[in-house]
Structure 1
């Protein structure tokens, strides 16, 4: 089967669609099948969370969308201005200020100095770091650094060439809060929801924490243990109280079943 990543001419309602996507690392007896026959679509403006056991291919899936790797089989359709990734570590350039880090993707896209400075200031204000643009990463807390990384990713999703005008934006997030303390993580979860609502950016968010997945997502997608396949999906938008707790228990039970079946294989 031919593996491709393409940008269709005809607009769809989804920034990204997976069609029977598979990914294998290595060859022969040493081959490892990470993903197999993945069918999934993320709608424009949708917040989708992805859960599964360690090693099930969640990060691999994000890497394929980001163009950091290519599928072995199947097809990925991208209809987005420019996907951006927020990793577990902020990965900021230590010699640049917070504003300089946010400006970086804009500079690489050829945006003029005045325009990129204005955009960086706007995005830093959006992530509640107004007035801290001249600080370097070592002068910021872990939570602040992740806010800068988020602002930089949002800058990267901004189309600055005109070729993607009108296309939905897409943000890929790979356990961005897992290295933070519980209080900071809780605060940033709330901030992410605020920013998502303000920007309308579609988000594909990987997490090991089912409670986080339900709190943040409109839809939770469960991947099987390796090779990763879509096992089940839950609509969780707007849940609270007992309904939210019931969903968390149900998804945790499904996740435990996936892990147990893999261990018994």
Structure 2
């Protein structure tokens, strides 16, 4: 069976959690300036799971940092219609002196949530990521996969908390499973999909792994080699079996073409 992939390049949306229009990013100035992004147009709907795919150095992380507010575009426009974006990195980046529960509770404390409410929310989030009962342990007592679950719960605590609950949550993930072994990675991918479906958060997930992108995303967005720009998009939600394998093959081939054209330039 051959998968029919819908090209999502002209996908119309009337609502968005985040929208980027003509976003450029250059590091440095003049002849020594390095262009990381060159006119990125991207829109993510509330509750949508979008995977950003591209070769190493294509600007995926730079784009995520701009959406997170950790960096500013050199040109173009960023519009957020969401709660403050929460970010999950390759490393769990937990506070080693805090327990798992205290790490999850931290963004709620910084947001001024009352002690009783933040403890209640923390317990719910730890249960959501299947870590109920380990809230009292410190990071060094947990496995790598468990630490990433704590990091996910902490990101959800930040993303799902707004002053009035009226704005859709937005979760930004920068290759969060890349440092894990294959079995743990597979388990956490399944867990992430379960958590995403239960929370309704919009997710922008950065990866260079086509199989991971097709498995997780509803839409895969391919960036060119540096300077990064959107070169193609595909709707991949609900694919399985032979269709999923065909989609992986099609996107892999397109990724190789993008990389080869850059190397030949």
Tell me if TM exceeds 0.5.
Answer: yes
Matches within 5 A, 1:118-137: 118-137=120-139
Q: How large is the Cα RMSD of the aligned pairs?
A: 0.8
Matches within 5 A, 1:208-247: 208-247=208-247
- 1:112 matched to which residue of 2? 114
User: For 1:108-137, what per-residue CA distance to the aligned partner results, in whole angstroms no more than 9, with x for missing partners?
Assistant: 001111110000000000000001100000
- 1:57 matched to which residue of 2? 59
Aligned with 1:76: secondary structure? strand
Q: Is the 8 A contact 1:15 1:44 kept in 2?
A: yes
Q: Is it true that 1:78 corresponds to 2:80 in the alignment?
A: yes
Q: Is the 8 A contact 2:108 2:161 kept in 1?
A: no
User: For 1:199-223, what per-residue CA distance to the aligned partner results, in whole angstroms no more than 9, with x for missing partners?
Assistant: 0100000011100000000000000
- Give the one of 142, 145, 154 matched to 2:144: 142
* Structure 1 position 82, deviation (Å): 1.4
TM-score (norm 1): 0.94
Which runs of no fewer than 5 residues in structure 1 stay unpaired?
1-11
User: 1-side partners of 2:57 and 2:223: how far apart?
Assistant: 10
- 1:8 matched to which residue of 2? none
Q: Is the 8 A contact 1:111 1:160 kept in 2?
A: no
User: For 1:158-183, what per-residue CA distance to the aligned partner results, in whole angstroms no more than 9, with x for missing partners?
Assistant: 23423xx3111100000000000000
Matches within 5 A, 1:187-206: 187-206=187-206
- 1:17 matched to which residue of 2? 19
Which runs of no fewer than 5 residues in structure 2 stay unpaired?
1-13
* Superposition misfits of 4+ residues, deviation over 4 angstroms: none
TM-score (norm 2): 0.94
- 1:250 matched to which residue of 2? 250
Aligned with 2:70: secondary structure? coil
Q: Is the 8 A contact 1:83 1:171 kept in 2?
A: yes
User: 1-side partners of 2:48 and 2:113: how far apart?
Assistant: 28
Aligned with 1:151: secondary structure? helix
User: 2-side partners of 1:204 and 1:139: how far apart?
Assistant: 30
More RCO (CA 8 Å, sep 6+): 2
Aligned with 1:104: secondary structure? helix
- 1:177 matched to which residue of 2? 177
